[in-house]
Amino acid sequence: MAVQSGKDLLLKLDLTGDGTFETVAGLRATRISFNAETVDVTSLESAGGWRELLGGAGVKSASISGSGVFRDANTDERARQIFFDGEVPDFQVIIPDFGVVEGAFMITSIDYAGSHNGEATYEMSLASAGALSFVAL
């Protein structure tokens, strides 16, 4: 696989619930993390005293974080609305040469910042709120 440009990792939001996704405006950096809790089933009979884990058990989750330049675009307005209304709409994450992750996410934090001699910026964190789908590219 060739080296990928970071700008190709895209976070998209379904603005109206109709399945049409639009890239969240102003993002400069995006990150997605996948997690799975472990279920320890180690017992006195475990070979050599090594820990044993139960495959396929435990809670799976994903988290997304992003930061960028505040643009006051439709996606910015919609993200604010989602946060304040406590909604869990569908998002897409496009991971170059890997695939597309799609599903419901809750926006868990939005931070805005700015300095007198620079642009207004924001940071946003999201947590998965249901089953996610993955389609390989």
Taking only the tens place, the pLDDT of each residue in 7-28 is 778 999 998 889 999 999 889 9
State residue 74's pLDDT score: 87
State residue 59's pLDDT score: 96
Amino acid at position 55, single letter: G
pLDDT mean across residues, the chain:
92
Q: Is the pLDDT score of 40 beyond 70? A: yes
Q: Is the pLDDT score of 110 beyond 80? A: yes
State residue 53's pLDDT score: 95
Task: Retrieve residue 117's tokens.
Answer: 């001699």
Residue 28 to residues 47, 53, 89, 119, 120: CA-CA distances in angstroms?
A: 49, 38, 22, 13, 13
Fold of the CATH domain 6-136: Pnp Oxidase; Chain A (2.30.110)
Q: Is the pTM of this model over 0.85?
A: yes
Contact 53, 115 (CB under 8 A): no
Q: Is the pLDDT score of 39 beyond 90? A: yes
